[in-house]
Amino acid sequence: MDKMINKLKTEAEKNDGVVWVVKNARFAVFCILVAMCFGLEMDEENLERVDQVMKNVLIAVDPRIDDYLPILSPFFSKQRKRVLEVRKEQIEFLVPYIEQRKRAIENPGSDQTATTFSYLDTLFDMKVEGRKSTPSDGELVSLISEFLNGGTDTTATAVEWGMAQLIANPDIQKRLYNEIKSTVGDKKVDEKDVEKMLYLQAVVKEQMRRNPPTFFAPTYAVTEPITLAGYDIPTNANVEVYIPAIGNDPTLWSNPEKFDPERFISGGEDADITGVKEVRMVPFGVGRRICPGLNMATVHIHLMLARMVQEFEWSPYPPGKDVDFSWKMEFTVVMKNPLRAIIKPRV
């Protein structure tokens, strides 16, 4: 968090107070996830190299028409070749970090960059169903890739949409700052403080309802034939749940187009984002197929928004211009025009 705040300050000093939001949020999230994943402290140059490898994977596996019509696959041989090249590069690049972590575990204290625990540690001794061996290097790389790619852009995108709403609604931003000030005083917000901030929790919940970072929940399949809304769905057919249709349904929410965190405090419209109590918003999916990163993502989103509002007053750029909430589909649903803002350090 301190690295993110310092990067924002430096960027603002060089650009008359103007900063790019998602770039800085993404850097912070990626730093956290890399440290959690490998249990190793990396400098910025190595972080950028890992990030580029992960981006290459996402670009290479963009959906193509032959994913849905395999008969056309012979026409996409160049693309398949590129996918295999990217996969080879990914394995060759990440395996040395895996080996470095193994050495750090085997020889405690030998690596000064090593932390006490990592996601990788939980994978080394994992038993693979149907065989006696532990995961291969390729399998470890796949799990690492899933961990980093699944958590980086989704969380950073959520932070960007959240900051966009706080900039567009200065009264909400002011109320949030006042809650932070009254809760922690002059010390930096930490994860435990977030649990005490009801308005911050309402802001994040409303952001997830209004601007979910992905439009579709993890893919589901039915286990037996069923009819839904007049359509026959056969066993094992993929079912895609369109998240915004639920979060912006006027039969479920009053004035759904309005960004109103108060609805979750005194407006009588509380909702469980896991869908356990009732399905009124499902930004992470629901049931056994719910996103496994839910708890980690929500902690990061709360903490990042709190720190950003605690440190700076945020206003639109250019001054006086309304925030553009149009979107486009990438790996996540991002702002069509990436958010730029003017920040002013709090006194």
With a CB cutoff of 8 Å and minimum separation 6, the contacts of 105 are 121, 124
User: Would you call the peptide bond into 318 cis, given omega within 30 degrees of 0 as the criterion?
Assistant: yes
Tally of domains in the chain? 1
DSSP H or E stretch at residue 344: strand 340-345
The pLDDT tens digits of the residues spanning 282-338 come to 898 888 888 888 888 999 999 999 999 999 999 999 998 999 999 998 878 999 999
The pLDDT tens digits of the residues spanning 83-137 come to 899 999 999 999 999 999 988 888 877 777 777 788 998 898 887 777 777 888 9
- What pLDDT does 63 receive? 73
Q: How many helices (H) and strands (E) does the chain have?
A: 12, 9
Question: Residue 334 in contact with residue 215, Cβ under 8 Å?
Answer: no
Could you list the residue range(s) of the whole structural domain that residue 259 is in?
A: 2-345
- What pLDDT does 130 receive? 74
- What pLDDT does 219 receive? 82
The pLDDT tens digits of the residues spanning 236-294 come to 888 888 999 999 999 999 999 999 999 999 877 878 888 787 888 889 888 888 888 88
- Residue of 10, 20, 6 whose CA lies nearest to 334: 20
Q: Where does residue 159 rank: exposed (0-12), middle (13-18), buried (19+ CB within 10 A)?
A: buried
- pTM listed for this prediction: 0.89
- Residue of 33, 12, 109, 4 whose CA lies nearest to 296: 33
- CA–CA separation, 315 vs 173, rounded Å? 10
- What pLDDT does 197 receive? 96
Task: With cut-offs at 50, 70 and 90, classify the pLDDT of residue 75.
Answer: confident
- CA–CA separation, 77 vs 71, rounded Å? 12
- Residue of 152, 215, 164 whose CA lies nearest to 335: 164
- Hey, which residues does 232 pair with through a beta bridge? 227
pLDDT at residue 199 above 90?
yes
Task: With cut-offs at 50, 70 and 90, classify the pLDDT of residue 46.
Answer: confident
Task: With cut-offs at 50, 70 and 90, classify the pLDDT of residue 208.
Answer: very high
CATH of residue 264: 1.10.630.10
31 annotated as a binding-site residue: no
